[in-house]
Structure 1
Amino acid sequence: MGRPKQALISRRKTLEVALRIIDEEGLDALSIRRLGDELNVRGISLYHHFKSKEHILVGVCELALSDVRTPSTANVDWHDWLTRNATAYYTALRAHPNLIPILMRRHPLRIGLAEHNATAGLLAVQGVPPGAIMALLDGTESLALGCAAYESAVESDKGEDDWSAAYPFLYHVSRNRELPQARTFEVMVRAVVDSIIAEYERANGGKAAAQSA
């Protein structure tokens, strides 16, 4: 029996399969034909759900970031929820490192901008100075992308060096690390947020940033 002319598969299932291919084999492994083969449909039928492969990549990134959500209430400490969101973003990047090159272009691709808009709106509602909000968004995102990209590159290093002989100090401290990477990232996020607010206050003559609701 031939394949159906129209895809008998959901948009969600398509994105889940695409994400699996990218996670396991990398971005270059994903093609319309490969995705159709995995779903047992004709590749062309996927265009019933997506305009192009790029739209599939956008959908995959949105699926991977589904846990990064702006609170629906202002009755939460903005320092805490902003830190949680940045940490959730970092966690998603660590789980799906092959998406990092795509998410480096998330603004021109319009990935997650609705959430960024909601985040900016809630921060403003909670009294965070508008002049500091963009710096907070840029700072936390840059930190998440940079940390995740660096850590993923380190983990992918398949070198056979004898670190104990060639780099004894690095070897020693790497084997005696007491702060997990995830906890280190959270500490850095809080430091970035505090530093941005402190710099905003300094630049504005000591004007205090709004406190949490």
Structure 2
Amino acid sequence: MARPRTATLTRDKVVDAAIELIGAHGLEAFSLPKLASTLGVRAPSLYHYFTDKDDLLASVARVVATPTVDPDAPTGDWMDVLVGQAVALRSRIVAHPHCAPLLVRFMPRDDMFGEYEQTCQFLSAAGVPAHLHVSIVDGLTALTIGAAFLRENAADYADSGPGPSPDAASHPALRDALDAVEGQSADELFAGFLRCYLAGVLLGA
């Protein structure tokens, strides 16, 4: 009975199943035999698509880090474009919290050279000086992944958020600060944070 399912197995399907399994049970509980069982195959069948477990996990990291919107031809204000891409990446990582550690371990830096090249060309065309490109690209990458690992921000601690809210009597300044951003979503707050960083990069130019 497993033969027809094996015939339709693809590398992408294996990765998708791995993401689902890690999301359901956590990274520490993940194993190739468990993955093979969910796919209706034996573990050795997976080696037709991946050399080992690390090869598979690196592919999982690459898929999680891949933006849902194709950035092949970014257009518009450069800050709007990069902030939008960063917000989308953070949301994607937050949607797969158990896979997030894989981005640190298997960050496909060499595979991302093409994307970095495209971003630098986009910035050049927008008139952003070349000496700022590294600060922009590396800074946004670090801030986005860091924010995704933290997962929470001020929106969670506002009265309308899912997290605990500080008492005004004990934390009056913090309460005032949270009230000032009440109603903004996590994505909106993160986008504002990124714009502050980019404005600082430009200011230091």
TM-score bucket of the superposed structures, by smaller chain:
0.7 to 0.9
Residues 83-113 of structure 1 deviation map (CA, whole Å, 9 limit, x = unaligned)? 1111111111111122221212454664644
| Number of the residue aligned with 2:199 | 194
Structure 1: distance between partners of 2:83 and 2:165: 35
| 1:61 Cα deviation from its structure 2 partner | 2.4
Residues 134-160 of structure 1 deviation map (CA, whole Å, 9 limit, x = unaligned)? 11011111111222211269x9xxxxx
CA contact (8 A) 2:83 2:195 kept: yes
Structure 2: distance between partners of 1:71 and 1:168: 50
Structure 2: distance between partners of 1:22 and 1:129: 42
Structure 2: distance between partners of 1:185 and 1:163: 19
Output aligned runs, 1:95-174, within 5 Å: 95-107=95-107, 110=110, 112-151=112-151, 169=171
| Number of the residue aligned with 1:209 | none
| Number of the residue aligned with 2:160 | none
Aligned length, in residue pairs: 191
Residues 6-39 of structure 1 deviation map (CA, whole Å, 9 limit, x = unaligned)? 9431111111111111112211122111111110
| TM-score normalised by L of structure 2 | 0.77
Q: Residue 67 of structure 1: SS of its match in structure 2? A: coil
Aligned-pair Cα RMSD in Å: 3.3
The aligned amino acid for 1:72 is: A
| Number of the residue aligned with 1:210 | none
| 1:120 Cα deviation from its structure 2 partner | 2.4
| 1:53 Cα deviation from its structure 2 partner | 1.6
Unaligned runs of 5+ in 2: 157-163
The aligned amino acid for 1:39 is: L
Structure 2: distance between partners of 1:191 and 1:163: 25
| Number of the residue aligned with 2:87 | 87
Identify which range, 36-45 or 172-181, moves more after superposition: 172-181
CA contact (8 A) 1:58 1:109 kept: no
| TM-score normalised by L of structure 1 | 0.74
The aligned amino acid for 1:19 is: I
Unaligned runs of 5+ in 1: 156-161, 201-213
Identify which range, 83-92 or 171-180, moves more after superposition: 171-180
Structure 2: distance between partners of 1:63 and 1:46: 18
Q: Which has the higher contact order (CA 8 A, sep 6+)?
A: 1
Structure 2: distance between partners of 1:105 and 1:115: 20
The aligned amino acid for 1:76 is: G
| Number of the residue aligned with 2:22 | 22
Does 2:187 match 1:182? yes
Change (3 A) 1:125 1:172: closer
The aligned amino acid for 1:146 is: G
CA contact (8 A) 2:140 2:194 kept: yes
